[in-house]
Amino acid sequence: MFGPGTPHPRAVHVQDWSAEHYTQPMSAGVDTSTFGDPAFALPVHGRIHWASTEIAPAFAGHLEGAVLAGLRAAEDVRTRRSVAPPRPQAGNH
């Protein structure tokens, strides 16, 4: 990918995604009224953590929102791991 052995590109394509019709959630006809709703960011059964652009507290529906949601979920998993209930061991009923 880098260095002297890397081939030179034959062309460079630049895309302004903000100008595309379907990259804006409202223009695509998607109902975004629940984007960023804190209820959707809550872990299910304390173990399943959601990380998607739709649950981002800011920039929902965009790449920035996906990154923020992923960081939030990772931090949530990291901090909750230490307080999670112990898993039952085989033979201990």
For 42-63, what is the mean pLDDT? 85
Cα 42 to Cα 15, 16, 27, 55: the distances in Å are: 35, 34, 28, 10
pLDDT given for residue 29 in this prediction: 57
Cβ–Cβ < 8 Å for 23, 17:
yes
Burial of 46 (0-12, 13-18, 19+ CB in 10 A): exposed
Higher local confidence (pLDDT), 46 or 82:
46
- The pTM of this model reads 0.52
Residue 9 has pLDDT above 50, yes or no: yes
Burial of 23 (0-12, 13-18, 19+ CB in 10 A): middle
pLDDT given for residue 92 in this prediction: 54
